[in-house]
Chain A
Amino acid sequence: MNYTPHTARDIEHMLGVLGVSSVGELFAPVPESLRLKNLALPHGISEMEAVAFVQSLADGIREQGAVASFLGGGAYDHFSPSVVDAMISRGEFFTAYTPYQPEVSQGTLRAIFEFQSMICELTGMEVANASMYDGASALAEAVLMAVRMNNGTRVLLPQSLHPFYRQVVATYVRGIGLELVDIPWSDSGAVDLAVLKRELTAQTAAVVVQNPNFFGVLESLGEIGDLVNQTQTAFVACVNPMSLSAIRPPGDFGADIVVGDGQPLGLPLSYGGPYVGFFASREAHVRKMPGRICGETTDVDGVRGFVLTLQTREQHIRRERATSNICTNQTLCATAVTVYLAAVGPQGFREVGELNWHQSHRALHALTALDGVRQKFSGAIFNEFVLQTDHKASEVLAALRQQGVEAGIDLGRFYPALENCILTCVTEKRTDADLDRLIDAWRAL
């Protein structure tokens, strides 16, 4: 099956216009030596067969899968109201291109403008862009922007930053030769402020803080802000946006750049993507920001309209002097986040935040009441926490899986010193019955 509508008559007519006898002649510029004799792919199939194939994949996941999952670690299983997928499934949204022609792209542009506004509201920041690829690349671009702001040569990264995010930052900064300095965690699980203070030199381009951090622990943004805001160093915060329903945003503490991944706000897990990065900053720095930005203006009749703006920062104008090479981003995912936030509103957002807070704390209290199960870190958490036992996490998790529960992430995968630790996430979607199943499984070990 393919999607070409040409009949034999159409082709004959078109070849007649071109004055050639076969379509093959149109490939004459390709030297014979480069012609592919045989494309090593199977025959095409019908839609019915294709659907059966993907259904078999889905069946495979379901048959192997756990009954209840408590995985987080940068990707979260939250509830998404039906209107979210319904709206982004409109062909006028998902089959449109980047809004280069604003007169025929006002829908996409307005959705982006609303997205930018909502990200500013959530993060407490002044300006936001139209989106980045994901949380990790948004953080990497934030570090690059910090260097544009102050020409620093090193960046402080907490060891409690998501390990994948750290790897992405390292890949992005290799071209400019930035030094990465690891800041350890303290007993609370939060950044060790004494080390941070010591490493905060005049050459430091950025201090990065993840909130909550990879261990689910909430950082003391106020104290970090107090340290960094007196310097030229940029204060870069990477936040889980769901936490901003209940936790004060980095904008309140003087952050210069706030980034994160919008996945928790209405996007499916989808084995890691597509998600959407968000990127917010201060008005004073807007011309140093990467990515597309939508702005409000008027048309020749004075009617309100929206356009992509401040484009002299971007690759299609500035080429090798652009602030980033990003062009296509994750607009449809940003639209989903926008519809999600409009659907939950301030009251629904508060409710879902409280549900995350209380369900996760109820699970934490019940589990740490069991013999041999301890909370690893003393710091406050939002919806994820680290449990420690006397046994290898990989073995404990395998035993819990036997009972149909995917109880968390083996932190030994990322930190050898934490091989007895498990990162467990409890979102609003984990019901009381799910919690009972988790607690019963632990108790049966």
Chain B
Amino acid sequence: MKTIAISAALAGALTLGGFGAAQAWEPTKPVEFVVTSGAGGGTDNFARLVQAIITKHKLMEQPIVVVNKGGGSGAEGYVYGKGKKGDPNEVIFGTNNAYLLPYVAKLGYKYTDLTPVAAMALDEFLLWVKGDAPYADAKAYIDAVKAKPMGFKMGGSQSKDTDQTLTSMIQDATGAKWIYVPFQGGSAAAVQLAGGHIDSNVNNPNENVGQWKAGQVKPLCVFAPEQLAKSEPIHDGKGWGDVPTCKSAGIPIESFRMPRTVWLPADVPADAVTYYANVLEKVSQTPEWKEFIQRTAQTAKFMKGQEFTDFVAKDDAANRKVFEAEGWVVK
């Protein structure tokens, strides 16, 4: 507690000093990158790559320390951020769970305990079935599921998280009904589909690409407004760019994507937010970052300031609607 008080006081003093000298804010001690997933998770890769790029291109003077606080589906990291109120040397990496988690579980933080900095990419969601499944397109599969309600199994990572939300949206939009099985992560859901233990999943490209290469799973459609960027062929001459959008394939969902987000604790100086947003924007322009985006078939989209806040508001409302309909919102 004492250290927090001191660092908050220091931060305050620095801010005042900063105003006095009319200089832009810059970190004066090592910066901590708080990762809201376990080591090896998607958010972990994201944060460590950003760290590696910043170090390589010397975008920041101060050294960076990465810490994993992935407990409670990432809530541990956000609660930690709440405790660091006013400390601009704590940068928190996450997804849209930053503002969605407090709806579905009783946690020790609120969305207002965080200061939005930027979103760096949008991770895509695809509808996948087993490689040898008899469905040529998304419509054929949905029709089969509709014909046998609760006869098919949809797997996903965790409960009341993006995968289950999307499943619920598809159910609403099409009238199909699955048994949803929550696994520990996307890689488990990928292997379960390859082994034929579940009928479909809605994994991110990166989570299923290994199985797709081997022809064990195949994508039916992507939940994006337009088709993904062209890529090298992955299996059977087809690549990411050949996957039709779900809307065109008969599932009336315009778009479902997960932002890769960056936050600061509440009550930090506005200069600090601008500082990090600028550093991250430079990161997003490096060849290493572009290569990462392409390899993981995410969509490059850098958002900061008002654009990011607007995105959050829209995404929050869309997800909240599903949570309320499903009765997941905790009081």
Is this pair of chains taken from one and the same complex? Answer: no
